[in-house]
Structure 1
């Protein structure tokens, strides 16, 4: 593993509604690495992201962003990260460029025209679509605008929540290629998903969550990919957690 750890969960216990959703979860994500947190509904995936974003406070344990406890400096953690939710909240009455300019202004980030066009080109959003209102966009096109915004914010860390849910196979392949390219230039990426195949195709490591416990981890061999069948068998297992 690379030496610089940009994201760390250390014996993380989180409760929601009086129920323990995460029970002693520990993992770390290094610079330039894609870590996929895999699990079914209710496994604790989105709770993990919410804790890194400071929306939830751990009952025990802690989360660190760039070595800093999120609870100790929430603003610094959020400045260092870009978050892509499953359904990005973009404005349907604005076009792609207008959405990017607006949200960059909110974040206090530069929004020059050349940079916006470069980012939209990088996510392969067709030039003819960039001036159209988002009300006519497919989900895949909306995701491209959202990831372009993450690129333009130029943070070192990306948090992705079910990023390929509802996308067609071509859009999924394009998204994975884009994310892989971002990791290859040093971005640190934590994605949560229930898609076994997608996780194994793009991630350097996969962590399997079940019932709030991190029950297994899988690592890609040098120059290769994580074996889908192995992970699928583990994902499908119904072993009870004591």
Structure 2
């Protein structure tokens, strides 16, 4: 059976420099896979290959078993992408943002449906009619995920999703991501946060200088051991 997300010996060069070197992994439906690495490891570039914004120099990138290169529109329609800086309009309310972006996607939603999505991400009722310029980063992320829910995309890509959040907001975000995965959504997140990756992910892949150099899995319902991953991360980064 095809995995919703897969790379096969993915290699990528930018301006003549190797960014990714024969990276292979799969992400199953309902799984949270965290790609962990330091700055320049190739994490964000990996996400952009799934969206067709970067063209591999070797190997394959597949979404729902189909090569992104063969049908980039199908890949993008299946994916919601949450960048580190959420691309929403600060001069518009949460309702207005969702109405606007849903219209661009060729669909619409009534107030009840919008509120149901906001309820799922725990966006406060009083905030929904406020302009996003007054929002914290955590609230903007919740709005973006509500949009993803309404678009009904089966795959969610997260780029440094907890960067800049306070500890309470991080816990709330992790709970939300776990709930989405339990509902069947496939989630690939990239991060440099060892603790956060181990807290939320079913599997963690360690990326160093474009190569996948380690893999860690949660066993018997337990979280991935943070100390083990941290030691591997520190060792690899120092090498």
Q: TM-score, normalised by structure 1?
A: 0.96
Find the counterpart in structure 1 of residue 4 from structure 2: 6
Q: CA deviation at 1:97?
A: 0.6
Kindly provide the CA deviation profile for residues 126-158 of structure 1, in whole angstroms up to 9, marking residues without a partner as x. 101111111111111111111111111111100
Q: CA deviation at 1:4?
A: 4.6
Are the equivalent residues in 2 in contact too, given 1:162–1:192 (CA < 8 A)?
yes
Query: Of 141, 148, 162, which residue of structure 2 is paired with 1:143?
Result: 141
Find the counterpart in structure 1 of residue 223 from structure 2: 225
Distance 2:46 2:186 in 1: 16
State the aligned residue count: 239
Distance 1:151 1:128 in 2: 20
* Root-mean-square deviation over aligned CA pairs: 1.2
For the pair 1:170 / 2:173, whether they are aligned, the reply is: no
Are the equivalent residues in 2 in contact too, given 1:4–1:31 (CA < 8 A)?
no
Q: CA deviation at 1:239?
A: 6.6
Which consecutive residues of structure 1, in runs of 5 or more, have no partner in the other structure? none
Query: Of 129, 132, 140, which residue of structure 2 is paired with 1:131?
Result: 129
Kindly provide the CA deviation profile for residues 168-227 of structure 1, in whole angstroms up to 9, marking residues without a partner as x. 111111111011001001100000001100100000000000000000000001211100
Structure-to-structure mapping, 1:69-148, within 5 angstroms: 69-148=67-146
Find the counterpart in structure 1 of residue 56 from structure 2: 58
Are the equivalent residues in 1 in contact too, given 2:138–2:165 (CA < 8 A)?
yes
Are the equivalent residues in 2 in contact too, given 1:209–1:215 (CA < 8 A)?
yes
Q: TM-score, normalised by structure 2?
A: 0.97
